[in-house]
């Protein structure tokens, strides 16, 4: 994969940076953009929270000390809302004591960086956090039970057999495979796959899940269907679950 391929792929990764220091905001924004990320910025905590709710970025970089709402308050609020609780957060602060780092992590941050730091390190931390939380965004092959998902080629295999999927089914499966066992509501799937603010009937999710199940479970050459890996949680949503579940 050449540099252009990598840059085009990363442009789909949306980063929200919140910092009230304009120079810092511009520096981080410039470096992330230069590395192929799509960047949105906020200069205070309230704007950061509003943008996070409206745009659902793939990762958020929060300064600790901001007007209106602190980074800690923003992070705590994000974790309390179903629509944003899974968005990874990197906390920035000039406070480097162990107690401060622990406080940031205890309130939901996925990583903590002490100022000053190099922009190159921040870019590396962003990629590391995404690799843990959203591996498909960085083109990592996802595996679960006998399933393999290849983000670069948009292909899926089950037990070595290529499974043809439509674009929406592929996106749903990507999300489920990134977080096995986590239950996603219909609204969460709609926001992640169709986009926040796009009106689609809830029933649409059920239709695409039915197509996904059929594609994954049906054997091309006959024989018994494969075990169903997608669990329906009544009143809650859907999750990827082991074939050995009771």
For the stretch 42-68, pLDDT in tens is 999 999 999 998 888 999 999 989 999
Cα 195 to Cα 14, 57, 94, 187: the distances in Å are: 13, 11, 35, 10
The pLDDT of residue 243? 64
| 101 and 193 in a common domain | no
7 pLDDT more than 60: no
| 192 and 206 in a common domain | yes
| 199 and 124 in a common domain | no
Q: Round the average pLDDT of the chain to a whole number and report it.
A: 84
The pLDDT of residue 61? 95
Of the given ranges (75-79, 129-133, 145-149, 207-211), which has the lowest mean pLDDT?
A: 129-133
Q: Residue 219 — very low, low, confident or very high, per pLDDT cuts 50/70/90? A: confident
Q: Residue 72: give the domain boundaries.
A: 3-137
The pLDDT of residue 6? 38
| 145 and 133 in a common domain | no
Alpha-carbon span 211 to 213, nearest angstrom: 6
DSSP 28: H
Average pLDDT of span 80-87? 85
Cα 10 to Cα 3, 42, 84, 90, 130: the distances in Å are: 11, 21, 21, 18, 11
104 pLDDT more than 90: no
Extract the runs of DSSP E, i.e. beta strands, from the chain. Answer: 14-18, 38-42, 59-63, 89-93, 111-114, 142-144, 147-150, 155-158, 161-163, 230-233, 237-240
Residue 245 belongs to a domain: no
| 161 and 114 in a common domain | no
**Residues in contact with 96: Cβ distance below 8 Å, sequence separation at least 6, in sequence order:** 114
3 pLDDT more than 70: no
Domain count, the chain: 2
Q: Phi first, then psi: give them for residue 53, nearest 5 degrees.
A: -70, -35
The pLDDT of residue 179? 84
197 pLDDT more than 80: no
This model's pTM is above 0.75: no
Residue 246 belongs to a domain: no
The SS3 of residue 30 is helix
The pLDDT of residue 96? 62
The pLDDT of residue 148? 92
The pLDDT of residue 8? 42
Residue 169 belongs to a domain: yes
State the residue for tokens 């960086």: 113
Question: Taking each helix axis from N to C terminus, what angle separates 202-217 and 167-178, rounded to the nearest 10 degrees?
Answer: 80
Q: Residue 2 — very low, low, confident or very high, per pLDDT cuts 50/70/90? A: very low
């Amino acid at each position: 994969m050449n540099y252009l391929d990598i840059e085009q792929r990363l442009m789909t990764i949306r980063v929200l940076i919140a910092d009230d220091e304009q120079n810092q905001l511009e520096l981080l924004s410039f470096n992330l953009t230069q590395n192929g990320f799509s960047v949105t910025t906020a200069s205070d905590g309230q704007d950061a929270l509003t943008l996070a709710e409206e745009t659902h970025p793939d990762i958020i970089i929060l300064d600790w000390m901001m007007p209106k709402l602190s980074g800690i308050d923003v992070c705590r609020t994000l974790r309390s809302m179903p629509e944003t609780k899974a968005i990874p957060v990197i906390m920035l602060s000039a406070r480097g004591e162990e107690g401060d780092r622990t406080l940031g992590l205890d309130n939901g941050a996925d990583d903590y960086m002490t100022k000053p730091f190099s922009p190159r390190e921040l870019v590396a931390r962003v990629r590391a956090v995404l690799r843990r939380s959203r591996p498909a965004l960085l083109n990592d092959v996802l595996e679960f039970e006998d399933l393999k998902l290849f983000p670069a080629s948009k292909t899926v295999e089950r037990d070595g057999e290529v499974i043809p999927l439509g674009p929406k089914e592929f996106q749903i499966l990507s999300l489920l495979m990134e977080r096995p066992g986590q239950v996603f509501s219909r609204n969460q799937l709609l926001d992640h796959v169709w986009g926040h603010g796009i009106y689609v009937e809830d029933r649409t999710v059920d239709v695409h899940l039915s197509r996904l199940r059929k594609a994954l479970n049906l054997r091309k050459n006959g024989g018994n269907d494969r075990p169903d890996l997608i669990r329906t949680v009544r009143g809650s949503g859907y999750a990827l679950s082991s074939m050995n579940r009771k």
